[in-house]
Structure 1
Amino acid sequence: MTENQAWKMNGFLALLLLLVLIAVSIFFFVQGMFFYGSVAIFIMIILSSGMLIVQPNQAKVITFFGRYMGSIRESGIWLTIPFSNNKKVSLRVRNFNSARLKVNDVEGNPIEIAAVIVFKVVDSARALFDVDNYEQFVEIQSETALRHVATKYPYDNFEETGYSLRGNTEEIASELGSELQTRLEGAGVEVIEARLTHLAYATEIASAMLQRQQASAILAARKKIVEGAVGMAQMAIEKLQKEGIVELDDERKVTMINNLMVAIVSEKPAQPVINAGSLY
């Protein structure tokens, strides 16, 4: 089923025609020609049954005895096929907030996830005839797509390789929108935006995963500190030797590096120790 243009006529011209038919029927009745007057009234009733009003950002789907005749998208008053049925379909942009779903990520961790879907109808015929209820169809398919995407990635990527739900929100939102658009293509719906609105570990593992995140953050920080300390110690020794300030043998280099590493890496401020030399 594909949307097409229905036959229509300017509604104001149709109203003028109806007024002319009323005047003609009155004239015939006054002249005693009841048959012609009745015919004029009958034609007026037939034409008036095809009058309809279309609001902005709305479509009227026209069916005639069970057959799809087309859709009218232009706002205003129109005359279309007499004795036809018309159903309205909103073309406005709408959004749908999914419920908080509890799913397992790719590593099997239970998480809570939710998303907002922004969409609009682009094909009124498909939205009305190809699915039973396109609004309910959007809701169900949105939750299905969200579950599918959530199970493909980990909540957080501790190895810093690949995508994660928390660390790559833009990429996840793009993939969710693409998958949802594929699912809703047959319903005549265009997905404008799909974005995560809630993402968290499930209650039963939230505390344990928080400890894991804290431990990973501490290890990452320690790694950076050690790398910086090694570089600083190397620069200090090279500068001392280059400028000839002091001559250091291997033993003193080791001692100096040890002192610098302790001072930089230690969590507490280093306490200075003054070497006053020997009494003898």
Structure 2
Amino acid sequence: MDVTRDSSPRPVSRPAGPPDLPAGGSGEAGAAGSTAATGRAQPVRAASGGLAAPPTGKTPPAPADDPDGPPTCRLTPVRPEVDAAGPASRRPPRVDQALRERHALAAPGWLALFVLLLGTAGLLVVLVRAGVVPEFEALPDIRSEAVRRGGPTGLTPAEIAAVAAIGLLMVTVLAGLLSNPGGEARVLTRWGRYRGTVRRAGLLWVNPFVRRRRVDVRLRHWRSDQVTVTDRTGTPIVVRLLVVWRIRDTARAVLSVADHETYLREQIHAVLSRTASRLPCDSNAGPGPALRDGQWFSDELSRSLAAEAHAAGLEVYSVQPVALEYAPEVAESMRRRRLADLDAGLRTVLVDDAVEAAALAVRRLERATAHQLDEAARSALMEQLLVAFVAPAGVTAPVPAPAVRAARKEGTARKEGRPA
């Protein structure tokens, strides 16, 4: 008998497919308990609500992220046959990886000024030697021999070529001078192709044969006008927003969209409409969150708008609602409804407090007198105490006497054909 071979029965292999989740839900605790119980890693829930594909021996290649942008959350691909949550939510625009801001070649401005000074000096020397410009007595005589002997003055072909070359050089240097103030950048393009961005402030020299577009890269804020949207209940509301943003990638802001400011405004309106429709404006004394509660509305607007504007090279810091009101056509009715809800809540609180106080007073009276009241006497005493407690608070309600209530009860029982 070969004792080196394992003769124990092999476990039956399970068919491929997503294993069942534990009955405790799809949270981390349930996933951890299932892993501990079965000894195998269980699939996790994907962002769209379905089960993620089980791990295989090969790791799928991860998508390339934008190093300049926010980190991308890598999720395991969701299989369509197990995705029971419906279609996936819309994704923000995809970033163009080929279009990215880079530094353009720019020389210091003092070098260009030095070249201009040398060109001016050389041009004067050529003109003085040819006798076109009179000589200054304080300067040494640099005129040619023919000019000194009183011959004809004029430029020779060689001197004309030198003057033309010096003039062309000076024009080229002057055309490349660039004065860039702080807080601004220049996007350089040549024949429609991106050539770099100049962010350095001061006097610079760049290629004179490129097109320069001025871009404001300072921190900016924009206060929107009144935007009318609808909340989850379909009620129209008016919102005003304050958006703090700046241009992060000048190449994408200039070349990926026609106008980045118009793009940002339209995205603000779209994000506001989508976010406001998820919750009601007010809870109206009912359970559940509302748009006015806490910082959820502002945080969700900031997160959604930052994702939409990232593809255009814009960085959004915060989106804050500075005004959140009902539309004029429903403002008065909603105000009356809010007051009615507050009044009803106040009445409920007052009545509950009065009932508790009346019951406590009856118990103390029975304890003090050492006499147990019957049901009719206790009900009559509590009714009188309730009237005494509630009437000064403005909550008036007719309370029938015990004899009247007993007669009504007996008449109702006779009509229904049952004993009183």
The interval holding the TM-score normalised by the smaller chain is: 0.7 to 0.9
CA shift, 1:163, in A, is 2.3
Residue 252 of structure 2 is matched in structure 1 by: 126
d(CA) in 1 for partners of 2:364, 2:111? 94
d(CA) in 2 for partners of 1:69, 1:230? 81
In the alignment, is residue 7 of structure 1 matched against residue 132 of structure 2? Answer: no
One-letter amino acid matched to 1:11: G
- SS of structure 2 residue aligned to 1:115: strand
d(CA) in 2 for partners of 1:256, 1:19? 110
User: Share of identical aligned residues, percent?
Assistant: 27
Decide whether the 8 Å contact of 1:51 with 1:79 is kept in 2. Answer: yes
d(CA) in 2 for partners of 1:223, 1:73? 65
One-letter amino acid matched to 1:28: V
Greater percentage in helix: 1
Of 156, 181, 202, the match for 2:327: 202
Decide whether the 8 Å contact of 1:46 with 1:83 is kept in 2. Answer: no
Residue 116 of structure 1 is matched in structure 2 by: 242
In the alignment, is residue 192 of structure 1 matched against residue 317 of structure 2? Answer: yes
CA shift, 1:5, in A, is 0.7
Residue 276 of structure 1 is matched in structure 2 by: none
Greater percentage in strand: 1
Residue 107 of structure 1 is matched in structure 2 by: 233
Residue 174 of structure 2 is matched in structure 1 by: 48
One-letter amino acid matched to 2:207: I
1:159-238 alignment runs, 5 A limit: 159-165=285-291, 167-168=292-293, 170-233=295-358, 235-236=360-361
Residue 143 of structure 1 is matched in structure 2 by: 269
Segment of structure 1 superposing worse, 16-25 or 70-79: 16-25
Decide whether the 8 Å contact of 1:117 with 1:191 is kept in 2. Answer: yes
In the alignment, is residue 22 of structure 1 matched against residue 120 of structure 2? Answer: yes
CA shift, 1:238, in A, is 5.9
Q: TM-score, normalised by structure 1?
A: 0.84
One-letter amino acid matched to 2:125: F
1:142-185 Cα offsets, whole Å, 9 max, x none, are: 111111112221121125433212x3252111111111111111
Larger Rg: 2
Does the C-alpha gap of structure 1 residues 26 and 265 become closer, same or farther in structure 2, counting only changes over 3 Å? same
Decide whether the 8 Å contact of 1:169 with 1:196 is kept in 2. Answer: no
One-letter amino acid matched to 1:20: L
1:80-101 Cα offsets, whole Å, 9 max, x none, are: 1122211101112333233323
Does the C-alpha gap of structure 1 residues 235 and 14 become closer, same or farther in structure 2, counting only changes over 3 Å? farther
**Which structure has more RCO (C-alpha within 8 Å, separation ≥ 6)?**
1
Decide whether the 8 Å contact of 1:120 with 1:191 is kept in 2. Answer: yes
Does the C-alpha gap of structure 1 residues 40 and 222 become closer, same or farther in structure 2, counting only changes over 3 Å? same
Decide whether the 8 Å contact of 2:347 with 2:395 is kept in 1. Answer: no
CA shift, 1:223, in A, is 2.6
1:104-132 Cα offsets, whole Å, 9 max, x none, are: 22112222233222222111111111110
Does the C-alpha gap of structure 1 residues 20 and 250 become closer, same or farther in structure 2, counting only changes over 3 Å? farther
Segment of structure 1 superposing worse, 203-212 or 14-23: 203-212
Q: Which runs of 5+ in 1 are unaligned?
A: 271-280
CA shift, 1:217, in A, is 0.7
- SS of structure 1 residue aligned to 2:295: helix
Decide whether the 8 Å contact of 1:128 with 1:134 is kept in 2. Answer: yes
Decide whether the 8 Å contact of 1:115 with 1:197 is kept in 2. Answer: yes
One-letter amino acid matched to 2:257: V
d(CA) in 1 for partners of 2:294, 2:259? 31
Does the C-alpha gap of structure 1 residues 248 and 22 become closer, same or farther in structure 2, counting only changes over 3 Å? farther
Residue 196 of structure 2 is matched in structure 1 by: 70
d(CA) in 2 for partners of 1:137, 1:245? 78
Q: Which runs of 5+ in 2 are unaligned?
A: 1-98, 131-157, 397-420
Decide whether the 8 Å contact of 1:263 with 1:269 is kept in 2. Answer: no
Q: TM-score, normalised by structure 2?
A: 0.58
